[in-house]
Structures are given as structure tokens and as C-alpha cells.
Chains A and B, each alone.
Chain A
Amino acid sequence: MSTQSMHIDAYERNWMIFGIVMLALFAAAVSVAAFGMGIQVPAPEQRVDPRTVATDPNSPWSNPGLREIAPGKYDAYILARAIPKWEYLPNEMTVPAGSTVSFYVTSADVQHGFKIQDTNANFMVLPGQVSKLTITFDKPGTYNFICTEYCGSGHGVMYGAIIVTP
């Protein structure tokens, strides 16, 4: 029937076009940041068995800590856990300014989070999965990393620090 048609007011049409353009610009901005500037979100890294990840001698998380793999380049294997207490192992690491650190974090029990203050490092830590992000520390200082997912009564005291020396 010819009388049935979509009636769209001119102002409303302009608003809808404005909305689409605005959303397209936002999408373009995050795309440039992701693919042009390389600000990326975590990707699947490795799966592990949470029941043995802390004890199996072949697992890097049976001996968590910082390993220098090349001058100024580090791998940090960090274990998050709620049992016997809420903590990261290790909970303190020291690197010189200008170091690039790749964090490999997993959980021995429940879900945790891992957010390094004043950086873009912020991800979930799940049992069975390894979360990885790489950060370059240019400015000296103490960077707290804190748990950002509820993991039981001690969630609020679970944190550690990266000390970047001059």
C-alpha cells in the first residue's frame, strides 16, 4: 500500500546521520589506537592445568619470578592465589628504567585481576589460562599492581609492586 511508508522528520534524519557519523568516528579512533598505535587487548597465550600449575616442576609458575631474557628485556611469571592467603608470587620486582617486561600471569585457584597502576596493563587472571601483556617502564618509580576481581575475603589486600630504578 502506497500510504504506508516510513515517515522520518528532517531533523530526525539529520540526527540519525550525525549519530552514525559520530559512532563511526569513535570506531575509527579505537581502530587507529589498536592497529596503528598497537594498543592491543590480551590474546590467548597458553592454557594450563590450574591443579598442577604451581607445583609441576616443568611449569614456570612453580618457580615464579622475573627472568632477564636479553639486556633490558624481562619475562615476569606471576602466580595469583587466594590460598593459603591472598597474594601474588612474587609480590615485588625491581627493574631499571627503560625495561620492557612481558607479564605471564595465571591463577592457582579462583579468578583474579591484575592491573598495574598508571599503565595500560589491566587484565583478568583466570585459572586454566595465561594472561600476557608487555609493558615498557620508562619512568622510575613504584608501580603497584592490584587485584581487580573479587577473589574472596582478602581481595582488598591483594597487591604487589614493580620498582623501577633510575
Chain B
Amino acid sequence: MTQYQLSTGEKKFIGWHLLAAILAFAVGSFFGPLQAFEHAGWDLYPYLKPLIKSYYQGLTIHGVLNALVWTTFFIMGFLTFNVIFGLKRPLKNMTLNKVGFWMMVVGVLTAAVPILANEATVLFTFYPPLKANPFFYIGLTLVVVGSWVEGWGFFMTYAAWRKEHPNERTPFIAFGSLVTTLLWQICTLGVAVEILTMLLPWSLGLIEGVDPQLARTYFWFTGHPLVYFWLLPAYISWYAMLPKQAGGGKMFSDSLARLAFWLFLVLSTPLGFHHQYVDPGVPPVWKFIHAMLTFSVFFPSLMTAFTVIASLEYAGRKQGGTGTLRWIGKLNWSNPSVAAQLLAGILFFFGGIGGLANASYNVNLVLHNTAFVPGHFHLTVATAVTLSFMGISYWLVPYLTGKKLWQPKWATIQAWVWFIGMIIFSNSMHVLGLLGAPRRVPLGLAPYIPAEWNSRLFQVGVGGAILFVSGVLYLVVMYKTATNKQTVESEVEVPIAEAMQDPALSPVWLDRWSPWVYGALALIVIVYGPQLFDMIKNIALTSPGFRVW
């Protein structure tokens, strides 16, 4: 059976997304290790002085490019692939999607100018009343709106497909991509309102002040579901692609996988107050309700863990694996795409446990804004997501370019080096946080460092150095692949793990949009509505802007 073929134009369009993502990764990842080295006492920032003014300018670049730009571009590219390949039809309106993509590119370039000019050293959370140059906010808005436009293109494509196939189940990779897109469109309303009603007019001088507490509330409306926007594309690959790559496996439970995605849509937005447990302006009762909902969103991740591991076990046993755990060794570890994603999944276990600790209401008093938090999200977004995306690119780039993956052995080594570097880095960050070390501080220079932190700070530097090697290796493999003279003999096969049970036999309600969408919106109104209404009613635009960097 031959697979559905993407056109050359479609491949190029997806390739542009990946190119933009990888360029952002390249620049941003140069600054990550600089933060880690600073912690260990090897501060290289003074040598960068003519270009980069401070640790915080570097941290802003690292956060914006790695957490926001690399992820968003890779995701929009991967989702475009999933929608086209999954639905086996071209995009309904390619021009619309191209407009969206170029809006995102223009947005990144617009925001890059003030960031590089040290006019927007506000970190990737840009909490007011730190006031950036207006072009920073304009650029971010363009990136978000551009991603919406691409998403509208996906929805139109789905509507057209649905008309052609009224009774079919939506193919899983397209289904997951559409849910991810919708989740993104709902949750980014928060940051859109924050920028358009407060930060942009304020930075342009149209209004005198902002309400920092309300701004934080808008921001975290978007901020937590943002992590699911990063994570769900990796889940799509873990559910529906990785088992096939790992040994010809199948997806263990198609219907529960779909249920998990719906639960993410419903549960991932109405819990943003768990980032605001220690904010003064939010009543504890709402914080507590959001804490309970945060525990509930852990449930679909537990379901994912079961289905993915069961699917991998099926693959391992198909390859002749036996024993309780020995089948793991039979998985296709020599395939760099598999190794990267398996290692990403292993570290995500620990990321999940740390996330539960952060989410645990009063436990957060010990952890809030300590080094534990970046330790945690380097296991999630910087490993579960980033290392999975690297793994995906190890088959997707050859697929798109028709070039052979350069030195698969080096690609596999790259994944392992990331895994080892991240264990050292994130473990020491978690421990530092428990000892009381704050995040976002050049700890190498901080005057209040007790001696017991020093060995851990050194490990942060060592981990950062190893991660830097891995990042460079990834870029070399990508560059050498894109310019490889050796082309693939035949079209690269897209790895798709079929469901063990025919999806057509799964309940119809798992393929109906309206109950889940209305449910998601209703839950948001119930658990955000009263408090947001109260904050907006009592809005105090009393904070003028400051440029204190």
C-alpha cells in the first residue's frame, strides 16, 4: 500500500516552518549555556558586552527564542503536515496558511529588533510594569495572530474533509492536531487581551498605567495551556508514530487516546491560578479550585503514559522481546528518532512529578520562583517537547527534503548527550530550588549564596556545557542533512501506528466537537468568570512603566 503523497509545494511550506524553528533554536540555545556557566562562576557575558548588554538580555533571548519561537514554528509545521497527511487532502486554502506563516515570521523579526537593542529586556513573561518598546508587543501579537490564521486554515480544511467524508472517524494525527489548534486558539485569548487592552496602548503612550495583577491573570490564562500546546504535538508523535518506529507497533487504545485529547482541551485552561498561588490579589478559594483542576489535568497524562508504554511494549514483544522489562531493549534504539523520543519520555516522568509538586497549592510556598521551576520546565518543554521535536525532525527533514539523514549514529549520540546533560542540569536546579535558590538570578554574583549551594551551581554549569555540545550536534546533523548530496532511494515512509481496534468502532461522541468545545468554554466561564469580572470591575490602571535594565 503506497502512502498519501504531499506535493513539493506543501513539503517546502512545512520545511520553511522547520527552518525558522531551527534558526530560532540555534540563536536561543547559544544563550542557554551562558546562563548555566554564569551560575558556575564562569561568566562570559562581559566578553559579549558590545553586542549583549546583560545576563538578562541573554535570558530574554533564550526564553523568547527557545520557549516561544522554536516551539511555535515547529508545531505549526508539524501540525500542517499532520492535517494534510492525516486527512489525505491538500489544505483548503494554501494562501491563507502562507499569510499566517509570514505574519509569524514578520512578528519574530519585529520583536527581535527591540530585544537585540536591549529595549525589551523583560524576559519571556514580560510582566508589567516593566515596559518594553512597543515593537516587542506588536511582534508577539503578530506571531500569535499568524498562528491563529494558520489554525483557521486547518479548520477550513477539516470542514472540507468532513463534507467529503461525513461518516468517517477523523484520522488520529489530524484529530490530535485540530484539538491542539483549538486549545491554542482558546487559551491565547488571555495574552491577546493583555497586550491589546493594556500593554500595547500603554507602551504607545495612549494610556498612563496598567494593572499588574490583572495583567498577570490574563498572562497565566494563556501561560499554562501554552505548555499543553507544546506538549500535545509530542503526544501525537508518541501515540501514533513512535510505536511504529520503535518496532512495528500499534496504538494500544485509539478511543482512550482521543478521550485524553478531549480532556486536555477541556481541562488545560481553567487552572491558570496555580501559577498565581502566591499572588496577593487572587482569593485563596479560587486558587484552591484551580489546584484541584490542576490535579485533574494530570489524569489524561497518566492515560497517555499507559497507552504509549503499552503500545511500545507491543512493539518490543513483536521484535522478540520478553520479560517484564527486557522488551525495552528490543525497541529500535539505533534509530535516532526513536532514541530521542524514548529518552524524552523517560525524563518527562520526572518532569510530571515535579509538576505535581508545583501544582500542590501550599507546597508551592516552598517552590515558587525558585530554581526548582526552571529545573522542572527544562524536563518538560526543553526535553519532553524539544528532544521529541528533534527526534521527529530526524525523519521529517529527510521526508521533506528527500535528503538522507546525515550520520544517524551522530544523531543518536546527540539524543543521549542531551539526556545526560539534562539530568545533570535539571537535577541540580531542582535541588538548588529546594535549598531556596531563586530563579532568574545571576547566582554566580548574588551576595546571599550559602556555601552549600556551590557544588550544585557547578553542576548547573557542567550540565549546560553538555547540553551545548548536544545542541551544536543537532544543528550540525540538520545542516549536513539539508545539504546532503545523498538522496533517499525511495520516498521516506511516514511512521503511522495503526490502532489495534478499528477507530470506526469507537463511540461517536469521541468524534463530536460541540459537547467538548462548549464544555471547555463553560468550565472557563465558571472558574475564571467571577474572579476576572471582579478584577476588571475594580481595575486600577495606576502603574506607570519602568525601564530598569
Q: Which residues of A contact B (CB under 8 A)?
A: 3-9, 11-12, 15-16, 19-20, 23, 26-27, 29-31, 33-34, 39-45, 47, 49-51, 82-83, 109-111, 113, 115, 117-118, 120-132, 144, 146-157, 159
Contact = CB atoms under 8 A, between A and B. Distances in A.
A6 B280 contact: no
B165 interface: no
A16 B482 CA distance: 44
Contacts of A19: 298-299, 302-303
B316 to A, nearest CB: 16
B436 interface: yes
A136 B130 CA distance: 34
Contacts of A156: 441-443, 445-446
Interface string B348-365: 000000001000111111
B9 interface: no
25 contacts: A5-B507, A11-B306, A12-B307, A16-B299, A19-B303, A20-B299, A23-B299, A44-B282, A50-B542, A50-B543, A82-B548, A111-B129, A115-B369, A124-B279, A128-B543, A129-B212, A131-B280, A146-B438, A150-B56, A152-B130, A153-B549, A155-B440, A156-B441, A156-B443, A157-B446
Contact of A120 (B310, B366, B442, B548): B366
Chain A to chain B: the 10 pairs with minimum beta-carbon distance, closest first: A152-B548, A148-B369, A19-B302, A131-B280, A123-B278, A129-B280, A156-B441, A39-B362, A30-B361, A148-B438
Contact of B212 (A16, A49, A111): A111
B505 A43 contact: no
A161 to B, nearest CB: 9
B448 A146 contact: yes
A62 to B, nearest CB: 17
Contact of A6 (B216, B255, B299, B548): B255
Residue picked from B306, B356, B364, most chain A C-beta under 10 Å: B306
Nearest to A147: B438
A102 to B, nearest CB: 14
A4 B213 contact: no
Contacts of B440: 149-150, 155
B280 A126 contact: yes
Given A43-B284, A115-B369, A123-B280, A148 B546 contact: no
A21 to B, nearest CB: 11
Contact of B540 (A44, A82, A128): A128
B186 interface: no
Interface residues of B, number: 72
B121 to A, nearest CB: 8
Given A40-B284, A83-B548, A128-B213, A153 B302 contact: no
A26 to B, nearest CB: 6
A51 B542 contact: yes
A113 B280 contact: no
Nearest to B291: A30
Contacts of B508: 4
Contacts of B363: 30, 33
A107 B526 CA distance: 32
B261 to A, nearest CB: 15
Nearest to B255: A6
A30 B548 CA distance: 38
A39 to B, nearest CB: 4
B281 A44 contact: yes
B365 A159 contact: no
A61 to B, nearest CB: 14
A18 B544 CA distance: 51
Nearest to A40: B284
Nearest to B363: A30
B532 interface: no
A16 B505 CA distance: 22
Contacts of A50: 542-543
Given A110-B548, A128-B543, 6 more contacts: A34-B362, A113-B369, A129-B213, A146-B436, A148-B369, A152-B548
A110 B544 CA distance: 9
Contacts of A20: 299
Residue picked from B276, B366, B370, B440, most chain A C-beta under 10 Å: B440
B164 to A, nearest CB: 22
Contacts of B282: 44
B404 interface: no
A148 B436 CA distance: 10
A6 B446 contact: no
B123 interface: yes
B288 interface: yes
Contacts of A150: 56, 123, 127, 130, 440
A16 B440 CA distance: 38
Given A82-B548, A149-B127, A16 B253 contact: no
Given A45-B280, A122-B369, A109 B129 contact: yes
Given A34-B288, A82-B548, A8 B438 contact: no
Interface string B502-521: 00111110000000000000
B244 interface: no
Interface in B230-288: 252-253, 255-256, 276-284, 287-288
A51 B541 CA distance: 11
Nearest to A113: B369
Contact of A9 (B253, B368, B448): B253
Contacts of A42: 278-280, 284
A136 B445 CA distance: 31
A23 B298 contact: yes
Interface string B286-307: 0110011001101100110011
Nearest to B367: A122
B54 interface: yes
A147 B302 CA distance: 36
A117 B436 contact: yes
A60 to B, nearest CB: 15
A155 B441 contact: yes
B439 interface: yes
B278 A26 contact: no
Nearest to A33: B362
B281 A129 contact: yes
A54 B307 CA distance: 57
B438 to A, nearest CB: 4
